[in-house]
Amino acid sequence: MIWDNEVAREVWPRLMGGLQITVKVTLLATAIALLFGLLLAMLQRSRRPAVRRVSYWVLESIRRTPLLIQLFFAFYVLPEMGIMLDGMVCGVIVLGLHVGSYMAEVYRAGIDAVPKGQWEAARALNLTPRATWVSVILPQAIPPMVPALGNYFVMMFKESALLSTIAVLDLMGEARLFANETYRYIEPMTLVGLIFLAISIPSAIALRYLENRIAKSDRLSA
């Protein structure tokens, strides 16, 4: 028989333990990505050309290299330079920075959508740069970004499976370990795929609903 229910029942508790790690990694990496993406977007608007150039090359360097290469570099190469990182810590940081570089574009678009008059009004009121960002620009820019940022959250959840390549026992890591121990692949890999679908599809539907609600609210307020 191709599918063995006994094997599926045996691997299930391990997958649930791995899922907890996957969710934890996703949440921590999302926090890093949100902050890093916002920082890059703000630096791109700096009045100092040197700051803009540095932030641009940081952004491009992260975007133009595969996530897997970044994970391997951080986990296997950095220790040779004296920088030791636990697999999970390494994965969270690299995943957060990688996705954050893409979130920066979402932030940039949201910030650019804020009417120029808002910037001019802030200058007329002699607001400090910090007060301008915190009190005027970001409160208007962030709400329309939420659906797009949410899509990257779902993407990060899926991309977290790559952390199994650096010995993180997340959902995919537990499935691979079980498969290597028992030489049974169909049950753990099928269940992992179903678990990812069971979480990703409702999340995508919820984000689409949220996007429609925001669009409807914008039309009513226009």
Rounded to whole angstroms, how far apart are CA atoms 125 and 201? 46
Q: Please report the pLDDT score of residue 216 as a whole number.
A: 75
In single-letter form, the type of residue at position 10 comes to E
User: Exposure of 201 by Cβ count < 10 A (0-12 exposed, 13-18 middle, 19+ buried)?
Assistant: exposed
Q: Please report the pLDDT score of residue 220 as a whole number.
A: 62
Q: Please report the pLDDT score of residue 141 as a whole number.
A: 86
Closest to 102 in 3D by CA, of 151, 143, 51: 151
DSSP state of 136: I
Q: Please report the pLDDT score of residue 138 as a whole number.
A: 87
Find the DSSP H helices in the chain.
5-43, 49-63, 67-72, 87-112, 116-124, 129-131, 138-159, 171-182, 186-221
Q: Please report the pLDDT score of residue 208 as a whole number.
A: 85
Whichever domain contains 34, its CATH number is 1.10.3720.10
Q: Please report the pLDDT score of residue 186 as a whole number.
A: 94
Phi and psi torsions of 91, nearest 5°:
-65, -45
Give me the residues of the chain with pLDDT under 70, please. 1, 218-222
Q: Please report the pLDDT score of residue 145 as a whole number.
A: 87
Closest to 74 in 3D by CA, of 101, 95, 104, 57: 95
Rounded to whole angstroms, how far apart are CA atoms 203 and 61? 30
Tokens at residue 141, please? 């820019």
Q: Please report the pLDDT score of residue 18 as a whole number.
A: 95
Q: Cα 111 from chain centroid?
A: 20
Closest to 27 in 3D by CA, of 211, 219, 199: 199
Residue-number span of the structural domain to which 71 is assigned: 5-221
Considering its fold, how many domains does the chain have in total? 1
Q: Please report the pLDDT score of residue 1 as a whole number.
A: 57
Helices 5-43 and 138-159: angle between axes, nearest 10 degrees: 150
